[in-house]
Structure 1
Amino acid sequence: MKWWHYLLSVLVLVFLGIQFVPNDLPEVELQNPGDIMLTGMVNDEVAGLLKNSCYDCHSNESKYPWYSHIAPSSWLVTKDIREGREELNFSQWNSYDLMEQLGKLDDIIEEVSSGNMPMGIYTLMHSSAKLSDAQRELIVAWAEESMDKLVEEDEADFEENEN
């Protein structure tokens, strides 16, 4: 047996062996009463972009493709979704206080306008999630307008409570 047959056999055994390493994909929840989509602050066009390009990692509504169940790619999917939800979870929008919401919107502006989001590794496997320059501008404009509205609403609430 040639050395490459031995190497291939070892690689196949390792690949099969790592399939038994436990990996708990983050739970999927489709009923999210605190979701940003239920706040009325997202128009239909932006909602479609967020759902298509952001929600797999930044919501409780992740959709797991076939490769997310096969190690070692399942480990990366799990890591990315856990980190994505920790950084921003659209499904838990209402649990953020005003300052957190403003910070999240500011992060969206930064990450989307710089091209860091959606991540390149994600769009490699999900080409429909790639954002055009016009789509990026639309999301950024929405986030900026949302920040302004949140601040205006907070100021109005403050003034109303003072009277």
Structure 2
Amino acid sequence: MQRRYWLLGGSALLFLAIQFVPNELPPVVMNNPDDLIQSGIVREEISSLLKVSCYNCHSNETEYPWYSYVAPSSWLVAKDVREAREELNFSNWQTYDMMEKLEKLDDISIEVDAEKMPLGIYTLIHTWAKLDETQRQLIVDWAEETMDVVVEEGEEDVGENE
């Protein structure tokens, strides 16, 4: 019985101690002039889906829940958001060149179609972010259609520079 109290007390002390391990969550920035949605190539319906299911990790507009400030879950949240933003950051959309945009759109189409995005660990807690089949297909279709738009814009830019 006494051993159980020592174990419980030790676990509590360890939990308290890890709260002091430094961990920086990626910054939140709400003013993003290079944002995808501000680019004008996203319909309202798609914009809403992206905001609910993608933007929390793949933009500068992350809304951190309470557990994001409690170790060890804060470490995982910080790591996941950093990696997600490195892979695709909708807040920086206009800074990508044509080829990067095409690659990102292709990745969106593939990942969403294969149900790899949003991540299962994310939708386990954030159930509202889970996409149903219709929503998934809307995003896939949008990504594929938008690739054509990006190519057309790229061709216009080339024509203007000649």
Q: Please classify the TM superposition score into its range, dividing by the shorter chain length.
A: over 0.9
Q: CA RMSD in A?
A: 1.2
Spell out the pairing of 1:1-150 with structure 2 (5 A cutoff): 1-150=1-150
**Cα–Cα, structure 1 residues 160 and 60, in superposed 2: closer, same or farther, change >3 Å?**
closer
- Residue number in structure 2 paired with 1:153: 153
Structure 2 distance, partners of 1:94, 1:66, is 31
Greater shift in the superposed pair: 89-98 or 145-154 = 145-154
Letter aligned with residue 75 of structure 1: W
CA distance in 2, matches of 1:158, 1:22: 47
**1:27 CA displacement:** 0.4
Unpaired segments of 5 or more residues in structure 1? none
Instruction: Give secondary structure in 2 for the equivalent of 1:55.
Output: coil
How many residues end up aligned between the 2 structures? 162
Q: Which amino acid aligns with 2:85?
A: R
2:101 and 2:157 map into 1 onto residues whose CA distance is 17
4+ runs of 1 displaced by more than 4 Å?
Answer: 159-162
Q: What is the letter of the counterpart of residue 124 of structure 1? A: L
2:56 match: secondary structure: helix
- Cα distance in 2 for residues equivalent to 1:56 and 1:127: 13
TM-score scaled by length of structure 2: 0.96
Counterpart AA for 1:106: D
CA gap of 1:160–1:16, structure 2 versus 1, over 3 A, is: closer
- Counterpart CA distance in 2 for 1:161 and 1:91 is 26
Secondary structure of residue in 2 paired with 1:71:
coil
Code of the aligned partner of 1:111: E
